[in-house]
Amino acid sequence: MEWAIAVLVIAVLGVAAAVAAGGVGEMKTEPVRDGYRQDLPQHPLTGADLQELRFGVTLRGYAMDQVDDVLVRLGQEIADRDALIAELTGGPDGPEAQKGTVAR
């Protein structure tokens, strides 16, 4: 009799745990992706934007696609700023360099 009560208690606890975990009912057809993703601002990135930036953590570290997106954007923005600085200061890529004379 004691065994029957123990088995009954274990069965009731198992069903209660399954209900609490949401295991009773229909399974969803599509997997749920609950990864964290912080979108980058539309304006040119500033130092404050980079300090506030957080990447989602995955099994192998940070989400590589998020890090790659940020690196591509930063590379492009740095290249654009370098070109603008060179144009404004008459550096190697500026108007004077295109004429054949470089201001020093």
The domain ranges of the chain are 36-104
Rg (CA), the chain: 29
Pick 9 or 53 by higher pLDDT: 9
> CA 52, CA 27: separation in Å to the nearest integer?
37
- Structure tokens belonging to residue 90: 């008459």
pTM attached to this predicted model: 0.44
- Structure tokens belonging to residue 103: 């201001």
The torsion defined by the Cα of 63, 68, 69 and 75, in degrees rounded to 10, comes to 150
The pLDDT-based confidence of 32 (bands split at 50, 70, 90) is: low
- Which of the given ranges, 20-24, 34-38, 54-58, 74-78, has the highest pLDDT on average? 74-78
Dihedral sign for Cα atoms in the order 56, 62, 68, 72 = positive
